[in-house]
Structure 1
Amino acid sequence: MIPNEALPALGQGRTERVMVAIRRLIASHALAPGDKLPSIRMLAREKTVSPSTVVEAYDRLAAEGLIRPRPGSGFYVAASIVPARGADAHAPADRAVDPFWVSRQSLDAGREMLRPGCGWLPPDWMPLAAIRRAMRAAAKTDDATLVEYGSTRGSLALRRLLARHFASEGIEAGAEHVLLTSSGTQAIDLICRHLLRPGDTVLVDDPCYFNFRALLQAHAVRIVGVPYAPLGPDMSAFEEALATHRPRLYLTNSALHNPTGASLSPRNAHRILAAATAHDLTIIEDEIFADFEPERSVRLAALDALNRVIRIGSFSKTLSASIRCGYIAARPDLTEALVDLQLATGFGGPSPLAAELVFRTLSDGSYYRHLGSLRGRLTRRRREVVAELAKLDVHPWTLPRGGFYLWCRLPGAPDASEVARRALRDGIVLAPGNVFSVNEAARDFMRFNVAQMNVDVTRLLQRTLG
């Protein structure tokens, strides 16, 4: 029997109260492994709850692995119970400060941690109302969307919507140019699998998004970094790298470059495409930050008409990082080859349910109002953070036209990796410069996410820099 005092009285529903009571009895060893639990009817009668409440409680505890049903006999405490843990183990703080260190610390940080080094917006900056409307609508969609695999190219409705968006930029692309993927990272991975072989050379900006480095290392290719300037890559170094190293691929952000926040100039865009044509170079243009721009800057994909430029993107920065869905826009012959590769490595693209949620949210009129509001909010926050950091003698390398990153030089030329280690002990996750730099030329730089900055970060950062 379960004593009445084992049942919490307040703050939980009936089912949860029954579950908590049983968990406590198991934790205190009042119920030992192998012991039989009271029958459903007996426990319901003793605790004045309905039998269905006890059934639900027992079913959920069985799903957790705490108890086991025995057909025709009842429910028993599981013979072996894995102890509950309060949180996932974090990546060891003393491991090398590399791209994986930053990713692990950002993703595994508890909610109490401050994360100005992470690459996403806080939940209250996202279009939560539109997402919830999309979820309610998606719950009523056809059964196949909820339980079956999707088509090989992904949702036709979403691909058509993206093609219309591209047309507004002057890119003539139909749904056949678009392949949906499980994420922006998977989009790059598929292209690398298709175009690269171990030992090939890939050109990246220096600095560049740290996960570009991590992903390319996994493909066992040689990575060459080209210094990045406020209007794009250093073109003399870029053209020299093409002639010297003959890379197969160039991976970049044209708009609101990560981590610097810079945007490509038209002059440099034309020079990049001319050099790419001369050296048979394929370009991956990552558009993940494009919607943060107040006015659209030049795009390589638009100038090139998706000839040797492949556009990739996702919705993790402006919509939701939890609803995993990305895309590739390229020549139809290339997307056709990538369809087979995606089938071989993942049996299809994104979850049909994820694609449905993205489509419904993007089709919601409030989404574009959200983007306008978000751009304004980021502009205000960026100004505030620049002023706050200036008090610490921390200044941005360039002032971005939009987005949420500031690429800043730290005063006194400290080792930013060591600053990040010290900050982690104070509960702050930072993104030090050299994790973005192939040539390790950003020792005293730090990337800050302005939406994740607050007075506590500034105060602790002052102490860490002191």
Structure 2
Amino acid sequence: MAAREFDPTTAPPPASPGTLARHAGQTLAEQLAAQFAERIRQRLLAPGARLPSVRECARRQGVSPHTVVAAYDQLLAQGLVEARRQRGFFVRDAQHRPAAPSSAPALTPPVDATALIRGMFAGAGDRPAPGLGTLPPDWLDLPLLTSTLRRVLTQADPVAALQYGHPSGDPRLRNALAVRLADFGVRAEPRQIITATGATHALDIISRTLLRPGDAVLVDEPAWAVEYARLTQLGVRLLPVPRTPDGPDLAVMAALVQAHQPRLYVTVSVLHNPTGGSLSLGTAHQVLKLAEAHDFWVVEDDTYAHLAPPHLPRMAALDGLQRTLYVSGFSKILSPGWRVGFLAAPQALVERLVDTKLLSTLTTPALLEQAMALCLEQGALRRHAERVVQRLDGARQRTVQLAEAHGCRFVTPPAGLFGWVDTGTDTEALAQAMHDDGWLLASGHLFHARRQPTTLMRINFATSQDAGFWRAYAKLRRGR
């Protein structure tokens, strides 16, 4: 991707309140202030987040309210938080706070997306992470990855291995992808396919090619905050469309289209993140009619294709890649580290998209793409995906039972990797408290284009089966 919002190789692990030492070289207040300060600088506490009340923090840390007040006073003095009369202490916006010490990396994401992302990279401990966006490592097939790479390395042309790859991506992989897309009814010639370093990079290539600052873009709400952050960073205007179980709210979409003449609509059509819903055939047809009538492109992100039944409708199949651009990747099914993604586009856009790719990454790793082609050609990826889907079905059933037994209500029917649940309590504050106990949550506010309090949260069915997590969740919820 051309511009990264985070750098996990340089980010120190987050400080974890709850480890105060009474005989350390610092006072308890100094230790507590330092831990909160580190969280704020790592954006695990995002701008606008409310710190625990003095009484709640004192109870959680086992210290006196006087100690907490002293710690918060130090954060005020450092310009990291602000006090709001009769409301409490809130993290200040980075643009209005003093620069961090030189030892801390200077990173400025446009929205709160990195709060969850950094937690995913650093981890909240050895416990399962219900807010994680990927499959657990023990669900992945490491022998498949290593054996495939070994075969590619032994078979590779030694001269080609030392050169740049093809600008559009490895030809063998693009041929294999054309065959794979046909399973979904998407008819794309290899020349219409461009590889990328992950699906997010593919989305970035499209955005940088088709958008200019000030353009309006339709987005689902809720949706994955990284997409909001990317588009905001490009200077475009977001037009959030409420997501229903069948897809976007068509009445709201039609009104926004009429008023703002958007350039793009970006959506996850199948196994939507975070709701798990999929586009109905009728809704897909109506979206394409709107796009045709008002001349905007539809960008269809099919990141979770390998976890979904192939018969679910894709807009790229319905319109034959006339007004749609299709995006997908393999990090959700193979490994987050295999940054291989791709896009399929109308032929008239291909050269412009390749030019943008060349300016952002030159080319993509040919050896990794050849390994992916081998996985597709020999059916290894298909067999692995079938095993994962079977295991995920069982995990989803167990997690739903645990969630409902502990007072959660599913807002949308459970499907795919994620569940969208109503907890009945402020999940941003809950996520802070759970993080102190070593659990990573995905608060619902991270999935909205504009910051707002919410009782919703996203859970990962594969990492939310631990009954211990639900007991800890229920205990903290009762204490709020």
TM-score by length of structure 1 reads 0.78
Residue in structure 2 matched with residue 373 of structure 1 by the alignment: 387
Post-superposition offset of 1:356 = 1.8
Aligned: 1:406 with 2:419: yes
Residue in structure 2 matched with residue 52 of structure 1 by the alignment: none
Aligned: 1:160 with 2:84: no
Residue in structure 2 matched with residue 287 of structure 1 by the alignment: 302
User: What amino acid is aligned across from residue 94 of structure 1 in structure 2?
Assistant: L
Aligned: 1:304 with 2:319: yes
Residue in structure 2 matched with residue 93 of structure 1 by the alignment: 44
Task: State how far apart, in whole Å, the 2-side matches of 1:244 and 1:397 are.
Answer: 30
Aligned: 1:382 with 2:396: yes
Q: 2:432 aligns with which of 406, 421, 427?
A: 421
Q: Secondary structure of the residue that 2:419 maps to in structure 1?
A: strand
User: What amino acid is aligned across from residue 476 of structure 2 in structure 1?
Assistant: T
- Does the CA-based 8 Å contact 1:386-1:395 persist in structure 2? no
Task: State how far apart, in whole Å, the 2-side matches of 1:114 and 1:377 are.
Answer: 16
Task: State how far apart, in whole Å, the 2-side matches of 1:226 and 1:340 are.
Answer: 31
Residue in structure 2 matched with residue 458 of structure 1 by the alignment: 470
Q: Secondary structure of the residue that 1:446 maps to in structure 2?
A: strand
Correspondences of 1:186-265 after superposition (within 5 Å) = 186-265=201-280
Give CA deviations for 1:368-423 in whole Å, capped at 9, x if unaligned: 2221121111111101000001111112112244x210000112xx2211111111
Task: State how far apart, in whole Å, the 2-side matches of 1:87 and 1:437 are.
Answer: 25
Post-superposition offset of 1:157 = 0.6
Task: State how far apart, in whole Å, the 1-side matches of 2:468 and 2:169 are.
Answer: 43
Structure 1 gap ranges (5+): 1-84
Post-superposition offset of 1:109 = 1.4
- Does the CA-based 8 Å contact 2:125-2:439 persist in structure 1? no
User: What amino acid is aligned across from residue 268 of structure 1 in structure 2?
Assistant: T
Q: 1:103 aligns with which of 117, 120, 123?
A: 117
Task: State how far apart, in whole Å, the 2-side matches of 1:179 and 1:347 are.
Answer: 13
Q: 1:215 to 1:430 in 2, by over 3 A?
A: same
Task: State how far apart, in whole Å, the 2-side matches of 1:161 and 1:94 are.
Answer: 43
Aligned: 1:135 with 2:149: yes
Q: 1:432 aligns with which of 439, 443, 455?
A: 443
Task: State how far apart, in whole Å, the 2-side matches of 1:184 and 1:144 are.
Answer: 29
- Does the CA-based 8 Å contact 1:294-1:375 persist in structure 2? no
Residue in structure 2 matched with residue 4 of structure 1 by the alignment: none
Task: State how far apart, in whole Å, the 2-side matches of 1:104 and 1:339 are.
Answer: 31
Task: State how far apart, in whole Å, the 2-side matches of 1:371 and 1:172 are.
Answer: 22
User: What amino acid is aligned across from residue 307 of structure 2 in structure 1?
Assistant: F
- Does the CA-based 8 Å contact 1:206-1:439 persist in structure 2? no
- Does the CA-based 8 Å contact 1:153-1:179 persist in structure 2? yes
Task: State how far apart, in whole Å, the 2-side matches of 1:362 and 1:207 are.
Answer: 32
Following TM superposition, the consecutive aligned residue runs of length 4 or more in structure 1 with deviations greater than 6 angstroms are none
Q: 1:86 to 1:159 in 2, by over 3 A?
A: closer
Q: 1:274 to 1:234 in 2, by over 3 A?
A: same
How many residues are paired up? 378
Correspondences of 1:6-85 after superposition (within 5 Å) = none
Post-superposition offset of 1:226 = 0.8
Task: State how far apart, in whole Å, the 2-side matches of 1:183 and 1:442 are.
Answer: 31
**After alignment, is 433-442 or 193-202 more displaced?**
433-442
User: What amino acid is aligned across from residue 93 of structure 1 in structure 2?
Assistant: L
Q: 1:216 to 1:87 in 2, by over 3 A?
A: closer
**After alignment, is 151-160 or 112-121 more displaced?**
112-121
Q: Secondary structure of the residue that 1:157 maps to in structure 2?
A: helix
Post-superposition offset of 1:218 = 1.1
Q: 2:330 aligns with which of 307, 315, 328?
A: 315
User: What amino acid is aligned across from residue 12 of structure 2 in structure 1?
Assistant: D
Aligned: 1:395 with 2:412: no
Post-superposition offset of 1:199 = 1.2
Post-superposition offset of 1:333 = 2.2
Q: Secondary structure of the residue that 1:143 maps to in structure 2?
A: coil
Q: 1:173 aligns with which of 168, 182, 188?
A: 188
Post-superposition offset of 1:460 = 2.0
- Does the CA-based 8 Å contact 1:127-1:367 persist in structure 2? no
Q: Secondary structure of the residue that 2:275 maps to in structure 1?
A: coil
Post-superposition offset of 1:87 = 8.5
**After alignment, is 222-231 or 102-111 more displaced?**
102-111
- Does the CA-based 8 Å contact 1:100-1:214 persist in structure 2? no
Q: 1:159 to 1:295 in 2, by over 3 A?
A: closer
Task: State how far apart, in whole Å, the 2-side matches of 1:427 and 1:87 are.
Answer: 18
**After alignment, is 115-124 or 93-102 more displaced?**
93-102
Task: State how far apart, in whole Å, the 2-side matches of 1:425 and 1:253 are.
Answer: 32
Q: 1:92 to 1:299 in 2, by over 3 A?
A: closer
Task: State how far apart, in whole Å, the 2-side matches of 1:354 and 1:156 are.
Answer: 13
Residue in structure 1 matched with residue 282 of structure 2 by the alignment: 267
Give CA deviations for 1:21-57 in whole Å, capped at 9, x if unaligned: xxxxxxxxxxxxxxxxxxxxxxxxxxxxxxxxxxxxx
Task: State how far apart, in whole Å, the 1-side matches of 2:384 and 2:439 are.
Answer: 29
Q: Secondary structure of the residue that 1:465 maps to in structure 2?
A: helix
Higher CA-based Rg: 1
Q: 1:340 aligns with which of 355, 361, 382?
A: 355
Post-superposition offset of 1:110 = 5.8
TM-score by length of structure 2 reads 0.75
Post-superposition offset of 1:145 = 5.0
Question: Considering only aligned residues, what root-mean-square deviation do their CA atoms show, in Å?
Answer: 1.9
User: What amino acid is aligned across from residue 410 of structure 1 in structure 2?
Assistant: T
Give CA deviations for 1:111-166 in whole Å, capped at 9, x if unaligned: 62532111100111112222121022122122245433211011101101111122
